[in-house]
Amino acid sequence: MLAVGYVFFVLLIGVEIAVSLYRRDGVYRLGEMIVNVGHGVLYQIVDHFTAALIALPAIALAGLVTWPLLPVDAWWGWLIGLILFDLSTYWVHRHHHEIHLLWAIHGTHHAAEDFNLAAALRQPAFQRAFGWLWRLPLALVMPAEMIIGVVVFDFLYQFLQHTRYVPSLGPIGWVFNTPSHHRVHHGREAKYLDKNYGGILIIWDRLFGTFKAEEEEPTYGITRPIGSINAAWGNLAMFVDLHRAAAPLSVRDTLSAWLSGPERLSQLRPDLPALPLDGWSDADTPRAVRAYVIITAPIATPLLGWMLMSGSALSLSLQLLATSILVLSVVCAGGLLERKWWAAGAEAGRILLAAVGSSFLLTTPWPLVAGAVLLAGLAASQLTASRAGPSPAIAN
């Protein structure tokens, strides 16, 4: 079902891009678009290999249940299940803002500085590392098929919240989360920080004192920006930043910095320098590089879809090959746009790996295919490198 959902996502993103281009409002920028999709690719890869492992505790707990669960053949069963799931969403989301270790994971999503439907794809690769703990009690009252159905609906609903083109929805926003409420959640102004955690329902924020109505449109992003459009680095940057900042502290204060809210680190390290809010922009990269990335980066999407839909029908070696190509695709796209010194060589390696893998799958003379594609890739990547100039100062 999610595979169909992703087709729906791509279509809606295409419509929103068309609207943005028509209005010339800058809602979409190439670098942000590339890094958002890259994060989505990495998230899906990690989820592909770990989903079954994360589900095991819930399966084990469900096996101990001897009492009746919510009925899947009654509308009220689904309604109660949705409400319970959404309550867990509120708390897992809130705690991922209030515990710095978890914020280092979740903050990757908030690092998006363009608020659009593509930003909804910017899911942290390690998002489910701890989140399953908040979902575990649901196995005591909800059958597996209900949990799966609610997860899919929640994912689709929250995707639609990431847009600037839907105004306040009036009374609907008294009960339900809306794009207006979620724009507040992504704002980095002090009055908007840590507000509106709700997934489908906004009533939890109203009940627990974390609701904030949208006044003026927020400035999007985080207060300590990652400063990079490389999705692979984006999943690690906040951990590295937290580690470096906490390194001079005592063991006790280090634990406090990691396990308390992000504001605790500012109290422990008032000398921390403020990071610049202005990072990379599309204008930093020559047109030749941008054109090359626009042409080559989307290839990762069908490859990811093929791997996910094929599932266990693929051998582990083929899954690892596809994963390697996908990760390199994400890394190289960001590296080329940022004009990193290693990007041209990495791109050539990605193309060679893709050519060899394709030749085995298509049973073609792989040395000829690989050689031809490698030469083309080297020529293209060298062209982009030769026009790029010196690398800008980006902290990775």
Is the pLDDT confidence value at 395 over 50?
Answer: no
Is the pLDDT confidence value at 30 over 90?
Answer: no
249: tokens are 């502290």
- Spatial neighbors of 364 by CB under 8 A, at least 6 apart, are 358
pLDDT in tens, 80-102: 999 999 999 999 999 999 999 99
Q: What are phi and psi of 261, to 5 degrees?
A: -70, 160
Q: Is 260 helix (H, G, I), strand (E, B) or coil?
A: coil
Q: How confident is the model at residue 379 (pLDDT cuts 50, 70, 90)?
A: low
pLDDT in tens, 251-298: 999 999 999 998 888 888 888 776 665 566 777 788 888 888 888 887
In the chain, where the domains are located? 2-208, 285-386
pTM exceeds cut of 0.85: yes
User: Which has the closest alpha carbon to 220: 34, 28, 19?
Assistant: 28
pLDDT in tens, 195-228: 999 999 999 999 999 999 999 999 999 988 888 8
pLDDT in tens, 301-329: 788 888 888 877 888 888 898 899 999 99
Average pLDDT over residues 50-60: 89
pLDDT in tens, 346-356: 888 888 787 77
- Spatial neighbors of 246 by CB under 8 A, at least 6 apart, are 253, 254, 257, 258, 265, 268, 269
pLDDT at 226: 86
How far is residue 59's CA from residue 39's CA, in Å, rounded to a whole number?
28
User: Which has the closest alpha carbon to 367: 375, 354, 355?
Assistant: 355
334: left (phi over 0), alpha (psi -120 to 50) or beta: alpha
pLDDT in tens, 224-258: 888 888 999 999 999 998 998 898 999 999 999 99
How far is residue 163's CA from residue 28's CA, in Å, rounded to a whole number?
11
Q: How confident is the model at residue 148 (pLDDT cuts 50, 70, 90)?
A: very high
pLDDT at 135: 95
Q: What are phi and psi of 272, to 5 degrees?
A: -60, 130
pLDDT at 315: 85
